[in-house]
Amino acid sequence: MGFMIPNFEKITLFWCEVVDTIDTLMEETDEGQARMLLQHYEESLKVIDQNLTFHFERDEHSQRIEMIFGCDGYAQSIASVLSLVDAAPMIDGVQVVAFNGRQDPLPESVRLGDDEYGLDDFWFSYRITQGEFHLNIYVERVVDVEEDPAVEAVMILLDALLGEFDLMTRVSTLSWYDKPADPVDFGLMPLRQLRATFDNERGKVRLIGVTLH
């Protein structure tokens, strides 16, 4: 697996742009104008590394805005995320964060368009082989992994359960299967149990990249 070598000049230009425009973004009342500025941030990130992503969240405890950077599950771009966050300047009211962390409490469902997917709709099994954690996910019916909204919903839930960094660096393979009529009969576990199961096995798992099947 090839890893991206961060371009520090491009990273510096990105942060200069953010410093110059973040106040305008936070005060912008026109949704269209705000979206254009966010799109410009996204384009600037793609110049650094095409896998880079970001979003804003409000930290209710500190009243600050969190600017969270990730790489859409591409482990080869981890260094880009870490370099970008490490180079971040101090910005009033903004905390810069690498990767989506675990969520507490867990979301009980994910809504995508008109469809809602419950945490309890999904099941999993796993195996550990030579220090590699192989995760199998069971959804109602697998049609196209790349296009299936149920798969997208599970990926959001996996971020919430394990955190984006562990998902990329400690899950060796992620495979998708049709859910059997009675998952318990097949020895499957409800997806909500994944965090506790993973943490219990964590000491046996080495750092690796992720391969989607």
- Provide the residue count of the chain: 213
114-135: per-residue pLDDT in tens? Answer: 899 999 999 999 999 999 999 9
Q: Tell me what pLDDT residue 128 has.
A: 97
**Residue 28, Cβ neighbours under 10 Å: how many?**
16
**Regions of the chain with pLDDT less than 50:** 1, 210-213
Is 80:2 a contact under the CB 8 Å cutoff? no
What is the number of domains present in the chain? 2
- My answer on whether 31 and 116 are in the same domain is no
- My answer on whether 81 and 168 are in the same domain is no
Helix (H, G, I), strand (E, B) or coil at 94: strand
Joined tokens for residue 97: 């964060």
Which among 72, 98, 124 is the end of a domain? 98
- My answer on whether 171 and 207 are in the same domain is yes
**Is the residue at 144 inside a domain?**
yes
85-94: per-residue pLDDT in tens? Answer: 999 999 998 9
- My answer on whether 77 and 144 are in the same domain is no
Which among 51, 78, 98 is the end of a domain? 98
**Is the residue at 103 inside a domain?**
no
- My answer on whether 121 and 205 are in the same domain is yes
Instruction: Give the structural domain span for 15.
Output: 8-98
- My answer on whether 84 and 63 are in the same domain is yes
DSSP annotation of 106 reads: P
Joined tokens for residue 140: 């109602």
Helix (H) or strand (E) holding 125: strand 123-129
Q: Tell me what pLDDT residue 49 has.
A: 94
- My answer on whether 115 and 69 are in the same domain is no
- Prediction pTM value: 0.76
Q: Tell me what pLDDT residue 160 has.
A: 94
Q: Tell me what pLDDT residue 148 has.
A: 84
User: Left (φ > 0), alpha (ψ -120 to 50) or beta: where does 64 sit?
Assistant: beta
Which among 45, 65, 98 is the end of a domain? 98
**Is the residue at 73 inside a domain?**
yes
Q: How far is CA 109 from CA 102, 112, 156, in A?
A: 15, 10, 10
Whole-angstrom distance, CA of residue 16 vs CA of residue 109: 38
DSSP annotation of 79 reads: H
**Is the residue at 104 inside a domain?**
no
